[in-house]
């Protein structure tokens, strides 16, 4: 009796750069046990594609226009608490990584990693394991040993997301629309971010976000 072929791992690939998606889709499709069933370039479409396809693993960039991958992770996990989401990002700073895991990510790999690292991480996440690229693991270890803990440690993932958007130049109204919140709620979060970090001006908040890799100048 011929053994049944192993089940293929279905993947939703989320990144706002088409060239990046094309490149990594070729890498993933080359694996005999992977099947990219859908792509998305923003948080809203990522959630819709997840509902439509119910993939085994979501490979998710964080830095996207509008609502980021953090918000997409939060929404997907709210729909399906067992969803397996691997963050694949240019940024591997400890604050960003912790925010992703707090939102519900299952693993985190930086785009500077070799393709083989991403492939192994997808298989690990599909098995229900956590996965980190080496540079991310080192960043977390270094941060945990730092006596001067980051001001961002005081912030939750929703506050991290709002800080990221503030630092990227979004207005209160734009953030409210991106995150489906009222402007009053965003203003309250803004106040909490200032209070928790001890930074009283937006210029200082922007500097903190840039230094933590949450935004670019």
- The mean pLDDT value for 144-151 works out to 65
Confidence category of residue 210, pLDDT binned at 50, 70, 90: confident
pLDDT digits (tens, 9 = 90+) for 46-84: 999 999 999 999 999 988 877 888 889 999 999 999 999
Q: Per DSSP, which regions of 70-176 are E strands?
A: 85-89, 107-110, 131-132
Q: Rounded to 5, what percent of the chain is helix, strand, coil?
A: 55, 15, 35
Question: Of 127, 133, 197, which is closest to residue 160 (Cα–Cα)?
Answer: 197
Helix (H, G, I), strand (E, B) or coil at 192: helix
The rounded distance, in Å, linking the Cα atoms of 21 and 14 is 8
Quick count: other Cβ atoms within 10 Å of Cβ 48? 13
pLDDT digits (tens, 9 = 90+) for 98-113: 889 988 999 999 999 9
Chain centroid offset of residue 180 CA: 18
List domains and CATH numbers for the chain. 9-144 (3.40.50.2300), 151-211 (1.10.10.10)
CB burial class (10 A; 0-12, 13-18, 19+) of residue 141? exposed
- The mean pLDDT value for 159-174 works out to 90
Portion of the chain with pLDDT greater than 70, in percent: 94
Residue 142: pLDDT over 90:
no
* Predicted local distance difference test score (pLDDT) of residue 212: 77
Confidence category of residue 5, pLDDT binned at 50, 70, 90: low
The rounded distance, in Å, linking the Cα atoms of 109 and 117 is 8
């Amino acid at each position: 009796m011929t053994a049944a072929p192993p089940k293929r791992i279905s993947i939703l690939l989320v990144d706002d750069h088409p060239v990046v998606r094309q490149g990594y889709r070729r890498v993933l499709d080359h694996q005999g046990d992977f099947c990219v069933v859908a792509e998305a370039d923003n948080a809203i479409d990522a959630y819709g594609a997840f509902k439509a396809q119910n993939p085994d693993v979501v490979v998710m960039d964080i830095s996207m226009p509008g609502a980021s991958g953090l918000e997409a992770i939060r929404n997907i996990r709210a729909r399906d608490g067992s969803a397996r989401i691997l963050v694949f990002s240019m940024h591997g700073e400890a604050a960003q990584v912790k925010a992703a895991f707090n939102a519900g990510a299952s693993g985190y790999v930086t785009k500077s990693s070799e393709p083989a690292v991403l492939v192994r991480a997808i298989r690990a996440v599909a098995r229900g394991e956590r996965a980190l690229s080496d540079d991310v693991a080192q960043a977390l270890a270094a941060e945990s040993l730092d006596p001067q803990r980051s001001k961002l440690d005081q912030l939750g993932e929703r506050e991290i997301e709002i800080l990221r958007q503030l630092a990227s130049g979004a207005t209160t109204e734009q953030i409210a629309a991106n995150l489906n919140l009222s402007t009053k709620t965003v203003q309250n979060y803004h106040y909490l971010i200032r209070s928790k970090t001890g930074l009283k001006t937006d210029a200082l908040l922007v500097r903190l976000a840039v230094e933590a890799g949450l935004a670019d100048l």
